[in-house]
Structure 1
Amino acid sequence: MKRIKVTPTWCFSDEEGHRLDTHLLSLLGAVHRHGKLTHAAEEAGISYRHAWNLLHQGGEFFGVTLVEMARGRGARLSTLGEKLLWAEQRATARLSPQLDSLSSELNLAIQQHQEGVHPVLRLHASHGFAIELLPQHLGELQLDLQYCSPLEALAALNRNGCDLAGCHLPRGTVGEKARRKYRRLLKPRYQRLVGFIARQQGLMVAPGNPLGIDGVAALAERQITFINRQASSGTRELLDSLLDEAGIVSSNVNGYEIEEYTHSAVAAYVAAGMADAGFGVEAAAQRFGLGFVPLATEDYLLACNKRALKEPKFDDFLQVLRSVAFQKAVQGLPGYSPSQCGSVIEIGSFL
């Protein structure tokens, strides 16, 4: 089944209407990864001559060199080149939940128009690497995926606005705040939980961890700058619980009030050198070449109405979660593992 994905595209133009080739940013990213223009051009799918011309045009457009080249030292991004690259990666990471939700809506509309009305599984959940895998494994099962916070997802489930609602529960004492919240929101008599994945959360730091950041206590050291997640996210709630457990007042964390909206956006912020540490999943840290200090394990679960489990579309969905292919894909994500994946769980026993 054909699936459409919406991705952002940058356009640089000046007051005279001059525009830059859109290949420039992909070329800068390839230079950053390889350190050689020949390899960068090959990855970007353009000739060496075209790559050289692109860099020359970019330099003239901005009035500043974007890539510094020296005999025997290869190629490296200039200060402006790095800023352009990290700005693009941060913007893409920020926009990805909204664009993925839009992609889901478009694919659903196209499929229903082409094939008639078919059962649709409506999933509301926070953005994450494992959730991103689902559309690739569902085959003919249509998924209406909307990204939102756990509180928003559970509220939608309780008003019949979705079929499945994502929620995360940290293991151990640090998860007690989340347990109290879910006891108020979940209805053990009428609802069930579906096991999904477990994931490691912790601090993303510069490669090699040069500042020796080993836990949340280090965040209270004023010379360390931090980048946070938004207040509505489950990741932010987990961080707050870890700070409370360590006896750290959030106002003592330099950068606590600065927020990003995805794990990847936090990682891109740290990778750009704009903060010394951020909090999120290991998969995001590895994707941006960062170090990672694990601090907590949390279960990511999907809540649903008990009666809905009798519907054929739910049986199809559970079979996907239980499949070797999906669980192998989850295991390929750093810090992720299938956890009771596809199992139906009594709410009372889990909480």
Structure 2
Amino acid sequence: MRNDEALTVDEVAEILQVSRNTVYALKSRGELASFKVGRKLRFSYTDVQAYIAKSKTSREPEVVPVKQGGRFVICGQDVILDVLSNYVTQAGVECLRSYIGSYDALTALYKDDVQVASAHLWDSATGEYNVPFVQKLLPSTPAVVVNLTYRTQGLYVAKGNPLDLHAWEDLGEQGVRLINREKGAGSRVLLDESLRAHGINPYKIEGYGDEVQSHIAVASMVARGRADVAVGSEKIARQVKGIDFVPLKKERYDLVFKQSAFETPGIKAMLGILESGLLREEFASLGGYDTSDMGRIMWMG
């Protein structure tokens, strides 16, 4: 994707993993630059990436922990979190969104910059999702891990899979060009842990150091022939023309919050929504989501 490429509202929504209304709101608040082509609203790829980078590093000083009377912030990039946050707001709790990856989300939770972090971080040493990272990144902090959904992670490849890429080991083949996610993203951690488990030196893979910051962006790079392969989720592969998807791993996508927040209005509203079945029914029919364990407590410690 070229830095000067004009993007539609729908394309920006896919890159940010937010709703169309959220894109318009960002534009109205002056947080995301835009321009007109005729009567059509457009955004530059460079401006979108700049917004993503800013959202990863900025900390709004007015956002304080719920226990101190501040607003309720859910952190993560999947569109399911936008819908969940809307339900929480409808339940009477002002809910904000922060669009940073899993590793940074847990760090933000530890610092009380957000109240809920989403995570899909696989630990190759234990074979577990999320809990080992929660224990490391929230030291001496009692936390709760609640399942949101399961998704399938795998390889984005060109239509027809011309390089015959079917396993992690194939990424180490000479001439295979990778486009990578940013450090701390769940897909990046899965790639790094899988390469380590198979004894593959990542720095010998062409393109390993080339990073973009969303599933839709890496899928688009493969579709445009600017990379041969990328790691991402199945549901995005269904939305991007010109690529095939090679499933490799079913991942667990969880919500994490501190035990001390269990009785706060935001957490109570969120858990009530997960238990109600509204979100489960809405996303079970979309494809790419397994909501069978939604709302189940996976770990407390």
The partner residue of 1:120 within 45, 61, 71 is 71
Q: 1:131 is matched with which residue? A: 81
Q: Give 1 or 2 for the bigger CA radius of gyration.
A: 1
In structure 2, the residue matched to 1:321 is 274
Larger displacement relative to structure 2 (309-318 or 163-172): 163-172
Query: Are the equivalent residues in 2 in contact too, given 1:129–1:283 (CA < 8 A)?
Result: no
| Matching residue's letter, 1:344 | I
Counterpart among 100, 107, 125 of residue 155 in structure 1: 107
Whether 1:250 and 2:250 are equivalent positions in the alignment is: no
Letter of the structure 2 residue corresponding to residue 6 of structure 1: L
- Given residue 23 of structure 1, which amino acid in structure 2 is its aligned partner? K
Cα distance in 2 for partners of 1:92, 1:270 equals 21
How has the CA–CA distance of structure 1 residues 174 and 96 changed in structure 2, closer, same or farther, with 3 Å as cutoff? Answer: farther
Question: Structure 1: how far apart are the matches of 2:284 and 2:129?
Answer: 28
Give the counterpart letter for 1:326 in structure 2.
L
Please state how far the C-alpha of 1:223 moved relative to its aligned partner.
Answer: 2.3
- 2:33–2:47 contact (8 Å) kept in structure 1: no
Bigger helix share: 1
Give the TM-score of the pair, scaled to structure 2. 0.73
TM-score (normalizing by structure 1) = 0.64
Superposed CA deviations along residues 150-197 of structure 1, whole A, max 9, x for unmatched, are 333223322322221222243876745965443222357732122211
CA separation in 2, counterparts of 1:137 and 1:100? 23
CA contact (8 A) 1:193 1:347 kept: yes
Which residue pairs with 1:300 in the alignment?
Answer: 253
Q: Which runs of 5+ in 2 are unaligned?
A: 1-20, 64-68
Matched, 1:23 2:43: no
- Match runs of 1:1-351 below 5 Å: 5-6=25-26, 11=35, 20-21=37-38, 23=40, 94=49, 97=52, 120-125=71-76, 127-138=77-88, 139=90, 140-170=92-122, 175=127, 179-186=131-138, 190-289=142-241, 290-338=243-291, 340-348=293-301
Give the total of aligned pairs: 263
Residues of 2 paired with 1:335 and 1:197: CA distance? 10
The answer on whether the counterparts of 2:123 and 2:130 sit within 8 Å (CA) in structure 1 is no
**Matched residue type, 2:72:** L
* Contact persistence 1:171–1:298 (CA under 8 A): no
Query: Which segments of 5 or more consecutive residues in structure 1 lack a partner in the other structure?
Result: 13-19, 26-86, 109-117
The percent of aligned pairs where both chains have the same amino acid is 27
Backbone CA RMSD of aligned residues: 3.4
